[in-house]
Amino acid sequence: MKGQKVVLAYSGGLDTSVILKWLEDKYGCEVVTFTADVGQGEELEPARKKAIDYGVKEIYIEDLREEFVRDYVFPMFRANAIYEGEYLLGTSIARPLIAKRLVEIAAETGAVAVAHGATGKGNDQVRFELGAYALNPHIQVIAPWREWDLTSREKLLAYAEAAGIPVDFAKKGKKSPYSMDANLLHISYEGGILEDPWAEPEEDMYRWSVSPEKAPDEPTYIQISYEKGDPVAVNGERMSPATLLAELNRVGGENGIGRTDIVENRYVGMKSRGAYETPGGTIMLKAHRAIESITLDREAAHLKDELMPRYASMIYNGYWFSPERKMMQAAIDASQATVNGTVRLKLYKGNVIVVGRDSTTDNLFNESIATFEDDAGAYDQRDAAGFIKLNALRMRIAALKKS
């Protein structure tokens, strides 16, 4: 690989700064850096400056926020995907987009390999690499954490100092006690005291939301409008996908919404405890199910609910580009043609409460049939007798055999 190019998923932090130099030392390659803005809320120009200072000739810094929400987050929310009943898949859903751009940049620059900073203990190595191989079966993937002996922060710092890599951002105990990942859908926290599943997260850990106890004493009402299963407007104002999610994050965070504390099962086999803030996603999940409740046929809705755990596991485990996910997505998307309308929500001290839903074009709720008042013959209650007897027949036969 000497003299050839490698595309590195680069943040400019300690780990990827060391990886950049390590790749040059280990493989004698030319490193192309790629930094994705998926809404992590950080200034990315310092990453560009560091890459320039290290002598990197080809630097990619790209704003992928709209693509991220439009082509990854929204399709996932059409499925109401949630992993193990709690996790809204914030980290998982960003990885296929990053993997896609790594492979595309490799093709654009003539690189023979891509590299990432995910550790050998986590899910991200699987997600990045499954995505890369699905899109380019010939690509080589370099995962330094599975190759080098820099197994502690101290060793990373020593390597950095020996190599002349600036370490001001990492010295003198300034390291965050948590491993954090942020994008426009969520921010996650792992490590530190969270490694003890009995320990309560510290309040000053959270970045996006106030605690429910400190949220306003008056509820906030919002309306979300949907077209074909995707949110398109908040309170009547049409917004781009990324802008809409950012707005829901803001109003949700102000009302203490979206905090979760989870022990999840990683794909590599171990259990992991993490805390998450997903205010906008929490609101979207509740609202989407509400609009589906009046626009989806019963059996279509139930089938979606049966498919969802499998779909969520595919995303969690890194199979976004797999044939089975694409096939399932086609079915999910077909179900969303009639998911149009508006949901009214009350946000109050960590709670998302549906208080209204309406669809002018696709509403399957028929008040004249559902009413407890006189339905003017819209529904003949006598029809229920035969319906019940036919459905009870097999159970009656079984009961007769026992008598």
Give the catalytic positions in this structure.
Answer: 15, 95, 124, 179
Contact by Cβ (8 Å): 362, 340: yes
Q: How far is CA 9 from the centre of its chain?
A: 19
Residue with tokens 């998923």: 9
Report which residue type is found at 385: A
In the Cβ-directed half-sphere of 7, how many Cα atoms lie within 13 Å? 27
Q: What are phi and psi of 377, to 5 degrees?
A: 80, 10
Give the integer Cα–Cα distance in Å for 254 and 235.
17
Helices 90-109 and 298-317 meet at what angle, rounded to 10?
60
Nearest to 194 by CA among 260, 269, 257, 254: 260
Residues 272-276: contacts with CB under 8 Å, at least 24 apart: 272/122, 272/190, 273/190, 273/194, 273/195, 273/196, 273/197, 274/188, 274/189, 274/190, 274/194, 275/188, 275/189, 275/190, 275/194, 275/201, 275/205, 276/87, 276/88, 276/90, 276/186, 276/187, 276/188, 276/189
